[in-house]
Structure 1
Amino acid sequence: MDKMMKDNNLGFVHLKEINPPSVPRVSGRYLDRWTRIWEDAHNNGTPFEITARDLGEFWLLDQFFTTGIRGYVQSTMGIWLSDSPVSYLESAIFTASRARHPGHIRNLDMKRELLFRRLSDGLKGLPVDTMQSLGARGAVYRADLADALFDVVHGMLTGDIPGAGTLRSMKPAPPRSWEKRFG
């Protein structure tokens, strides 16, 4: 999109893009800090709720480290109308490998591994109906954490987590075949 043309008869001007965005990056320090704050805010509850919280947190962190999280970022592209630039939201995929502050990314990876070990030990042998209700509740926690980390207020909106994002009305759903991963 090199140029955006508007109808001169309606009083619009010719607009030109400047500085298209490069590789989308997110701050590991920001993610690490706000993940801890979110975790502390959801620390009260029954063991079932704590397990569901950990499950939702693991799913989001695992997606960030494997396939990435699709969302929108405020680009550095500016469109000049007189003297003030206007920012756009552009689609991007955020992955751990592209994040800034690698020390905090290592912390998040260690947290993901710890959650996986804890969940693997805690979920073995649970009845099917308990696993299903735990998965449904974990999906709500995953959507809530995604909203806390990647919502429009922070310049991003997750697009591939059902139920996540402040502009979404879909019901959160757990990943397919998630029970098999935990044995």
Structure 2
Amino acid sequence: MATTMGDGHLGFVRCKEVYPPRTPRVSGRYLDRWVGVWENACNIPTPFERLARDLGEFWLLDQFFTTGIHGYVQSTAGVWLSESPVSFLESAVFQASYARHPGHVRNLEMKRSWLYQRLRQEVQGAPAYTMERLGTRAAVFRADLSDALFDVAHGMYAGDIPGSGTLRDATPTPPEGWQQQLGWTPPVTV
């Protein structure tokens, strides 16, 4: 520590030399547990809100299993340098294929498949304005779930999903092409 402090940079140069793991791993058990906790906390009585919650959850799980969730891992170097964990975050991508605890990852995959089937059935024949409202509301739920799973307190956060957490200030938006992904087509008006 004395040599690091003596170089005049207070150790920050040394921090930049520490990189996240080549294949960042997240605990499937952690995700499986906290998705369930979040669902229970968001147990909403209205069918529309439940549908929006499930759609937001599906988007996050689908991203985890396809492209991965872009976020940050907490650096293991120089924890003594600052009170703020934000200064020790380094970018990474978390994917299901790299997750630990495969049994829990399978649970999440089954949950994603079940949500997909249910959502496809629910949105068929819905009017365009309802789908617009649903997408807007589901984006807020996805950001909320992202905050619950990947906030700074847990050492990582999903930076590409705007939410209401400390490091995010953008308005949540639905992903491109989500309506087509669910097989929804605008109803024909005569």
Say yes or no: TM over 0.5. Answer: yes
TM-score by length of 2: 0.82
Q: What is the number of residues matched between the two proteins?
A: 174
The answer to whether the aligner puts 1:139 opposite 2:144 as a matched pair is: no
Matched residue SS, 2:176: coil
Higher helix share: 2
Higher strand share: 1
Deviation at 1:43, TM superposition (A): 1.2
Distance 1:139 1:101 in 2: 28
CA RMSD for the aligned pairs? Answer: 2.7
1:1-183 to 2 correspondence within 5 Å? 8=8, 12=10, 16=14, 20-22=19-21, 23-76=23-76, 78-79=77-78, 88-163=88-163, 165-183=165-183
Distance 2:53 2:11 in 1: 50
1:21 maps to amino acid: P
Q: Which runs of 4+ in 1 moved over 4 A?
A: 4-7, 11-15, 17-20
Distance 1:80 1:54 in 2: 38
Matched residue SS, 1:43: coil
> Is this contact kept in 1: 2:149–2:157, CA < 8 A?
no
> Is this contact kept in 2: 1:16–1:80, CA < 8 A?
no
TM-score by length of 1: 0.85
> Is this contact kept in 1: 2:11–2:78, CA < 8 A?
no
Deviation at 1:31, TM superposition (A): 0.2
Distance 1:96 1:59 in 2: 14
> Is this contact kept in 2: 1:159–1:165, CA < 8 A?
no
Deviation at 1:16, TM superposition (A): 3.8
Q: Structure 1 stretches of 5 or more lacking a match? A: none
